[in-house]
Every structure is written in structure tokens, then in C-alpha cells.
């Protein structure tokens, strides 16, 4: 397939220039950084977050490349039929034996706002990919109506995270990890990132394998 170079586009050229500058700064600050990361990765956390460009997990957690394994989608949703996320979890749990999975929603979420808007309309058959994808979240929104009044966006964001933590804890990939690793199996957490001040809030909904001890520091055994 033939085509033009990305560098023909000014905005793409700017990104390449930024990459060159970043790579040079990293090599100067830590000459061993790239050679050290090239052979492989050993993340301890799988982050399931929203695709929103304002929520870059590595940046807001003060981490470095290689620290966090990542899956992002619209409104940080999970369903058992999501082969993409199921595959990510299998790699994270079987190859890297991550200790924690974190579902992270965020304030002013466009995906949640879209679902909230849909929940205000009469129920119709979803037709577009976005409508089909957001349908479970719109259904969740409808369950939160009080006296025909819709929930606030902030409430829907929180309840969505709680629902996804529950969905994950009930999925086969997580259950199989708990069977395989016992009390050392993965813990699942729910957080909300606040765009307005850059802080993360724990929703106190963490779930682990039967018999696990909350607060116990886990040690990865890769071999």
C-alpha cells in the first residue's frame, strides 16, 4: 500500500518533533531507560479507564512507561462479550500476574453523559455502534431515576464504576485467576478521577478472591 508520509501533515510533524525531544531528554536523564524496558514489562496494575484524552493514567498516577498495563474504552465499560478486554485481562493475569485491576471513571464523562441523554428518551432498538455500546449504561441510568428525575452525571459516573467492578468480579477471566492463584489472586478496585482538581477518589468497593486479606502486600512470582 502506498501513500503519503505522516510528516506531510503539520500536526503529525509536530508530534514527531515532540517525540524526538522526549526521547533525547529521557536518554540524557537515564541512559539505561530504553535498554532496560526493551526486553519486557512487569506491570503490577491493569488500568481499565475511559478513552477521554484528559485522563492519561501514567501521567496522573505519577508513573513511568512500563508501570501500568492499560485498556481504555468509552466510559470504562466491561461486558463478558468484550473479547478485546477479556484478552487484555488474560495477558495481564497469566503473563504478568498483575496484583490489581483498577476501574477508573472520571467526572464530566462524555460517555456517561451520552448514556444519560439516551435514558431520557423513549426506549428504542439501538442501531448505531455507539447506541449498541452505550445501551447497558443507559439502562443503568434508568434504574437511578427517582420520581421520574434522572440521576446527576456524577452519580451515574460512580454507579457505573461500581457496576463494572461487579461485572469483572463475576466474569470467567477473574474467577479463573482466583482459582489458579488462590488468595494471591487479583484484587479489583473502583476509582473516580476528578478532572476539576486532578485527584483520584476511592469508591471503597474493592473485591478480592475468597479468603484474601485486605491490605496484604502481594509478591509477584513470575516463574
Can 171 be counted among the known catalytic residues? no
Choose among 64, 40, 16, 41: nearest CA to 24.
16
Burial class (CB in 10 A: 0-12, 13-18, 19+), 61: middle
Active-site choice (20, 29, 52, 149): 52
Can 205 be counted among the known catalytic residues? no
Q: Round to whole Å and give the CA distance between 133 and 110.
A: 14
Active-site choice (71, 109, 112, 212): 109
Active-site choice (54, 180, 194, 201): 54
Can 212 be counted among the known catalytic residues? no
Residue 20 in marked binding region? no
Residue 184 in marked binding region? no
Contact 69, 193 (CB under 8 A): no
Can 172 be counted among the known catalytic residues? no
Residues 6+ apart with CB under 8 A from 17: none
116: its cell numbers = 444519560
**Torsion sign (Cα): 161, 163, 166, 170:** negative
Can 52 be counted among the known catalytic residues? yes
Neighbours of 177 (CB within 10 A): 23
Choose among 220, 194, 169: nearest CA to 104.
194
Residue 63 in marked binding region? no
Residue 50 in marked binding region? yes
Active-site choice (71, 106, 189, 212): 106
Q: Give the containing element (helix H, strand E) for 73.
A: strand 68-73
Annotated binding site: 50, 52, 106, 109
Active site residues: 50, 52, 54, 106, 109
Annotated binding site for Zn(2+): 50, 52, 106, 109
Amino acid at each position: 500500500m502506498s501513500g503519503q508520509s505522516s510528516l506531510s501533515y503539520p500536526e503529525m510533524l509536530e508530534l514527531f518533533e515532540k517525540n524526538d525531544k522526549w526521547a533525547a531528554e529521557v536518554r540524557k536523564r537515564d541512559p539505561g531507560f530504553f535498554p532496560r524496558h526493551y526486553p519486557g514489562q512487569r506491570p503490577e496494575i491493569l488500568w481499565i479507564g475511559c478513552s477521554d484524552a484528559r485522563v492519561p493514567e501514567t501521567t496522573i498516577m505519577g508513573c513511568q512507561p512500563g508501570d501500568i498495563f492499560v485498556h481504555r474504552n468509552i466510559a470504562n465499560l466491561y461486558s463478558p462479550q468484550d473479547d478485546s478486554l477479556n484478552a487484555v485481562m488474560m495477558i495481564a493475569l497469566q503473563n504478568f500476574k498483575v496484583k490489581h485491576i483498577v476501574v477508573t471513571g472520571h467526572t464530566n464523562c462524555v460517555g456517561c453523559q451520552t448514556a444519560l441523554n439516551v435514558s431520557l428518551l423513549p426506549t428504542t432498538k439501538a442501531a448505531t455502534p455507539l447506541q449498541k455500546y452505550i445501551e447497558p449504561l443507559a439502562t443503568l441510568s434508568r434504574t437511578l431515576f427517582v420520581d421520574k428525575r434522572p440521576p446527576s452525571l456524577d452519580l451515574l459516573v460512580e454507579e457505573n464504576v461500581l457496576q463494572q467492578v461487579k461485572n469483572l468480579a463475576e466474569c470467567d477471566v477473574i474467577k479463573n485467576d482466583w482459582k489458579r492463584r488462590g488468595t494471591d489472586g487479583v484484587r479489583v478496585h473502583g476509582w473516580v478521577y476528578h478532572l476539576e482538581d486532578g485527584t483520584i477518589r476511592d469508591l471503597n468497593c474493592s473485591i478480592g478472591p475468597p479468603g484474601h486479606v485486605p491490605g496484604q502486600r502481594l509478591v509477584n512470582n513470575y516463574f
